[in-house]
């Protein structure tokens, strides 16, 4: 499946790019935003793309054909401060698209999809570099811990019932695949079967993925480090896809605005047009927020 970037033109617009801009794209992903950003830069511009998945870096070597200086870095965006320091640059714009790449879920063989029989990993980067994988969460964590993350990170009301079903199922042997886990979850909440727009395993898979990748923790790191890296008039734009992420971004931006450290550029988050929602369904939940740093 081809990855389609969301809110593409809106993002480029709010970043207010110039030909000599220094842009740090904290989520290189499929390169959709990267290509559009690079069209705005000339040979004075700098583009830095960061991604925890080495396959994303390898797949986008073509970006070096653009006029701007291009750096593609295999790292977690929570290390944005070190990346920028090592390159000895000052970013004038920072972007993060917190959504997942379509190909990671469709063909990544990491257990992100509950519609395919894949090993339970759910790591965005190299599984060997993670403290634990989805397999460890599902098979080793206590029932209480499972219920807590499913409720806290997945906002799943049936969290306790799902956690109990997982613990009971693993008593018969380890839960090894995403499809196996999805079937266990579905059996725990049968009243949802065949109803509604989302699969009953959606929220639980989201919760486990967030836990494995420490997604909310690294988002805090990105926001704090990234804002400190910006010069006066530098801009930060974040695209979030679920309420947990958006709440963190909104709170951080509001704190900076209230402290008179940043300028509020838009009254409400930018969302996808009806046309984009029709052509790219994953854009339906996307929210774009942006702030501009004020002089210190």
Annotated binding site for S-adenosyl-L-methionine: 31-33, 51, 77, 97, 104
Q: Are 7 and 279 in contact (CB under 8 A)?
A: no
Q: Are 8 and 17 in contact (CB under 8 A)?
A: no
179-185 contact pairs (CB < 8 A, 24+): 179/114, 179/115, 179/116, 179/117, 179/118, 180/117, 181/111, 181/114, 181/120, 181/134, 181/138, 181/205, 182/114, 182/115, 185/114
Strand 46-51 to 235-240 pairing: unpaired
The whole-angstrom separation of Cα 34 and Cα 22 is 12
Q: Which residues are annotated as a binding site?
A: 31-33, 51, 77, 97, 104
**DSSP line for 160-224:** HHHHHHHHHHHTTS---BHHHHHHHHHHHSGGGTT-SSS-TTHHHHHHHHHHHHTHHHHHHHHHH
């Amino acid at each position: 499946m081809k990855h389609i970037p969301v809110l593409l033109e809106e993002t480029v617009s709010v970043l207010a790019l110039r030909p000599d801009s220094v842009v740090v794209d904290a989520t290189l992903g499929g390169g959709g935003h990267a290509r559009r950003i690079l069209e705005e830069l000339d040979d004075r511009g700098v583009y830095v793309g960061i991604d925890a998945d080495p396959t994303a870096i390898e797949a986008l070597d073509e970006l070096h054909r653009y006029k701007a200086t291009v750096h593609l870095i295999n790292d977690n965006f929570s290390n944005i401060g070190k990346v920028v320091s090592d390159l000895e640059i000052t970013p004038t714009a920072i972007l993060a698209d917190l959504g997942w790449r379509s190909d990671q879920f469709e063909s990544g063989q990491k257990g992100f999809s509950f519609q395919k029989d894949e090993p339970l990993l759910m790591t965005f980067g190299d599984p060997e570099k993670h403290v634990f994988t989805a397999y460890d969460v599902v098979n080793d964590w206590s029932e209480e811990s499972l219920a807590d993350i499913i409720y806290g990170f997945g906002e799943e009301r049936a969290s306790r019932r799902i956690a109990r079903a997982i613990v009971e199922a693993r008593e018969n042997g380890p839960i090894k695949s995403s499809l196996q886990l999805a079937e266990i979850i579905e059996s725990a909440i049968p009243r949802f079967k065949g109803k509604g727009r989302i699969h009953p395993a959606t929220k639980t898979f989201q919760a486990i993925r967030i836990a494995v990748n420490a997604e909310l923790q690294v988002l805090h790191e990105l926001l704090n480090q990234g804002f400190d890296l910006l010069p006066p008039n530098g801009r930060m734009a974040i695209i979030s896809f679920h309420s947990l992420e958006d709440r963190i971004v909104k709170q951080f931006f509001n704190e900076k605005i209230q402290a008179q450290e940043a300028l509020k550029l838009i009254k409400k988050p930018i969302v996808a047009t009806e046309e984009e929602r029709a052509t790219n369904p994953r854009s339906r939940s996307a929210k774009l927020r942006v702030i501009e740093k004020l002089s210190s």
